[in-house]
Amino acid sequence: MRFLFVAVCLAVASLGLAAPASCLVIDHRDVAAFAALPAWVPGAVRARLPLYYNHTSHGSQLVTGLDMLATEGLPGPTLDDHYETDLGNDDWPTITRDYLAGHPDTAVVLWSWCGQLSWYDTAAVQGYLDRMAALEADYPHIRFVYMTGHLDGSGPMGTLAANNEAIRTYCRANARILFDFADIETYAPDGTAYPDGSDACQWCQDWCAAHACPACGDCAHSHCFNCYRKGRALWVLLARLVGWSPGGPAVGALLLQDGP
């Protein structure tokens, strides 16, 4: 079964050709893949992928999800968690560069949005993409993860949806890594879409009324099940970066080290 949606420019490995850069999109379809993580993955992630993460309240949903999984017996990744600012801060590239100067062993960089994509114009979104590209050019050994913005109830015709799609299109066209924050909270586990919902994850309430869902102390702006699913998706992303590939070939250029 293919759990992971990957928009790829795959290498022809059987011909011995070098793997080209590949697009990796982590979305709602990846949440279920967490259950199939091999036993070697968590240790490999902790050893190989020091992760720098800067965010505000919405971005904390990923950390809450990791904490929920830790209570189930899975210690978190090697995460330097900064609950300080987000991509709405024009200085985020400088903050990133300053951090990397003092932490040269960093392998993955992740920043989240607050609500900015609900009102940014196309020039502002392009500015985000350009700044990410500049960081990637200057730090080719580090994996920079792009992100979409949280749902705001404006639906498929809203500014948010257009901005999120612009980011997805760029990542697929330019072989980038994307954590699709909005897509994960749009879909219930059975695949039903709720594109008109908000970050409160209204469908989560109905789903958990009919299914057993894990609890948490607080999931910022949302439901604990939303945080839980994002924590699972983050683990799948990190697993992919150390070489795990559920149901298909490895994504060559994204691998920091082959296999277990």
E strand segments, 3-138: 24-26, 51-55, 79-83, 108-111
Q: Is pLDDT at 254 greater than 80 in this prediction? A: no
Rounded distance between C-alpha atoms, residue 132 and residue 126, angstroms: 10
Average pLDDT of the residues in 245-256 = 53
Q: Does position 260 have pLDDT exceeding 50, yes or no?
A: no
55 DSSP β-pair partners: 83
pLDDT of 248 higher than 60: no
Share of the chain above pLDDT 70, in %: 87
The tens digit of pLDDT for each residue in 92-124 reads: 999 999 999 999 999 999 999 999 999 999 999
Edge to edge, what strands does the sheet with 143-147 contain? 24-26, 177-179, 143-147, 108-111, 51-55, 79-83
C-alpha dihedral, 239 to 186 to 89 to 53, nearest 10°: -20
Give 232's contacts (C-beta < 8 A, 6+ positions apart).
30, 31, 34, 65, 69
> Which residues have C-beta within 8 Å of that of residue 14, sequence separation ≥ 6?
none
In what helix (H) or strand (E) does residue 143 lie, and over which residues does it extend?
Answer: strand 143-147
- Which two three-digit tokens encode residue 150? 């949280």
How far are the Cα atoms of 37, 124, 197, 232 from residue 70, in angstroms, in the given order? 15, 37, 28, 11
Question: Does pLDDT of 20 surpass 50?
Answer: no
Note the pLDDT of residue 83: 97
What's the fold here for domain 13-254?
Answer: Rossmann fold (3.40.50)
The pLDDT > 90 percentage for the chain reads 85
Q: Where are the domains of the chain?
A: 13-254
d(CA 176, CA 21): 8
The reported pTM is 0.88
**Does residue 169 have a pLDDT over 90?**
yes
Confirm if 230 and 184 have CB atoms less than 8 A apart: yes
Q: Is the predicted pLDDT of residue 196 greater than 60, yes or no?
A: yes
Tell me what the pLDDT averaged over the chain comes to.
Answer: 88
Encoding tokens for residue 125? 């979104």
Could you tell me the pLDDT band of residue 50, with boundaries at 50, 70 and 90?
Answer: very high
Strand partners, 52: 80, 109
Residue the block writes with tokens 């991509």? 87
178, HSE (Cβ side, Cα atoms, 13 Å): 31
* Reported confidence tier of residue 131, pLDDT bands at 50, 70, 90: very high
